[in-house]
Structure 1
């Protein structure tokens, strides 16, 4: 196109092409990125790791510090979940019904981002609206910003909204333009298809493992164990707040443990799970043999023999006059031409 219009020497074209690395936002504005920028995730992880990891740490200290980082992440997650579930934000906008519904659906952090979009509705002006069958088209702009016009399409048959700013597509929250159209249409509830599940308070409620038990028993066990462990952490945190809740939860856990023990049985050579009715039980794991030569049998019948003379015992055969002959030594005595058989002697240190 540059060659066809003869713009090779145009300064504006050259300077714009040099900034081509910054065009990514224009191409990815309708792709879901959960609000992440190119380096924000890496910078956030680096800043967290610097608190725990030092360059002079050995390997053992590195592993321990990484475990502390994971625990710190999980602790922050528990605190945020607790605030989202057990605290109510103050409603401050004019769209009280929409704001209250958003506070019940979204987590605390996401709600404040949605609240900013609701507050921007006061500065929106609807310029034009038209209808094409079941689709309504709205054109609006912000107050004292006439050069930027936004287009919102609303399909009444499917309850679908689409805005030209693409905030719903890229971040997953409603933009102020869609909230303005909801106010224009006098809609008091958020359509279900506009609420992204991952930003809701109950986002973790639908975590279900789909791994088949017979395909990979060990991996299925680890996944289920991890999910149960994570699910019980919040319960342990809340139960430890007081003695009454602590005693109640301890009794419930003990009762459930007894019920599970009666429903399952343990003890299989393979160490895999077995179905008991609709329940699953896991046997003992395989015992791995250690490296090296196996342990020999040291009984009298199969005792160790001398490689040279093939008699029981260790080393060279010892005669009666041999020094240090021990109890139960096996000796061979040559007297002239008489060759005696191997006979056990009881010649201790006192002869």
Structure 2
């Protein structure tokens, strides 16, 4: 491109080429990106974040809203896991490795691995001195090199798909199948893609911390309410009316003496 368009003197193009190992996809295959490199996925993430944030968001509010966004995603993930447990999973190959993966991986990760398992059936593997050569059954040349150490449960492929996405490639799966491996090795089922995750920090909080977090969340919601209400007279009138009713109902609720002391202490800490 530089030669075709005479861009040798363009500093921007020259710097892009000099830093190609930091942005060009072929140089990034050995680094884990969970497959998130396309503009479409970036737009999806931006759209999700914009549901909680805006250009006018203050730093303190930004930090609070990030916590809200993370909690929202955690709840969505838990709901998706529950739905998968209820619904029957469609197995396409009948292979033991597929059944094993279905019991461990999230719906997204399993669908990606399942695609590779289906395609693996169309590949042939040839044992060599230093590993295996795997290529499509219609090809006579080329292919990928797969290195497998059964005793240590280590397998790697020259395509570097696992390193890049965390999902084993069709080439590695073909070699595992040829070697009578009926389960995917533990190290190739990353925690990121597992349905069973460790308890989140919010379940480890004591009541006092939980009370503080709920107050911070309320403050964040009130801040958002004020921002949205100020956009028009109609919104402001509606917010004022509804808050007046809500405030009256809240004041009718009893407040234990212990709750007063905790509230006072929490207020001082937040201030």
TM-score normalized with structure 2 length:
0.60
Are 2:190 and 1:191 aligned?
A: no
The unaligned stretches of length 5 or more in structure 2 are: 215-257
Q: Deviations over 1:233-288 (max 9, x none)?
A: xxxxxxxxxxxxxxxxxxxxxxxxxxxxxxxxx6998x6xxxxxxxxxxx961665
Determine the structure 2 residue equivalent to 1:121. 120
Q: Give yes or no for contact 1:159–1:191 (8 Å, CA) kept in 2.
A: yes
Q: Identify which of 194, 197, 212 aligns with 1:200.
A: 194
Q: Give yes or no for contact 1:85–1:201 (8 Å, CA) kept in 2.
A: no
- 1:10 shift after superposition: 6.8
- 1:221 shift after superposition: 2.4
Determine the structure 1 residue equivalent to 2:28. 28
1:64-75 paired onto structure 2 within 5 Å: 70=69, 73=73
Are 2:167 and 1:182 aligned?
A: no
Determine the structure 2 residue equivalent to 1:311. none
Determine the structure 2 residue equivalent to 1:81. 81
Q: Give yes or no for contact 2:144–2:157 (8 Å, CA) kept in 1.
A: yes
Task: Find the aligned partners of 2:153 and 2:57 in 1 and give their Cα distance.
Answer: 58
Structure having greater relative contact order (Cα 8 Å, sep ≥ 6): 2
Change (3 A) 1:10 1:146: farther
- 1:155 shift after superposition: 1.5
- 1:48 shift after superposition: 3.8
The unaligned stretches of length 5 or more in structure 1 are: 1-8, 132-136, 227-265, 272-282, 289-351
Task: Find the aligned partners of 2:109 and 2:210 in 1 and give their Cα distance.
Answer: 32
Are 2:265 and 1:285 aligned?
A: yes
Q: How many corresponding residue pairs?
A: 210
Task: Find the aligned partners of 1:13 and 1:121 in 2 and give their Cα distance.
Answer: 44
Give 3-state SS (helix, strand or coil) of 1:201's partner. Answer: coil
- 1:194 shift after superposition: 1.5
1:225-304 paired onto structure 2 within 5 Å: 285=265, 288=268
Are 2:110 and 1:97 aligned?
A: no
Are 2:159 and 1:156 aligned?
A: no
Runs of 4+ in structure 1 off by over 2 angstroms are 9-15, 17-23, 38-42, 45-55, 69-79, 84-88, 127-131, 143-148, 205-209, 220-226, 266-269
RMSD: 4.6
Task: Find the aligned partners of 1:42 and 1:11 in 2 and give their Cα distance.
Answer: 31
Higher helix share: 2
Are 2:138 and 1:139 aligned?
A: no
Task: Find the aligned partners of 2:46 and 2:265 in 1 and give their Cα distance.
Answer: 39
1:157-172 paired onto structure 2 within 5 Å: 157-172=151-166
Q: Give yes or no for contact 2:36–2:42 (8 Å, CA) kept in 1.
A: no
Give 3-state SS (helix, strand or coil) of 2:135's partner. Answer: strand
Higher strand share: 1
Determine the structure 1 residue equivalent to 2:43. 43
- 1:96 shift after superposition: 2.1
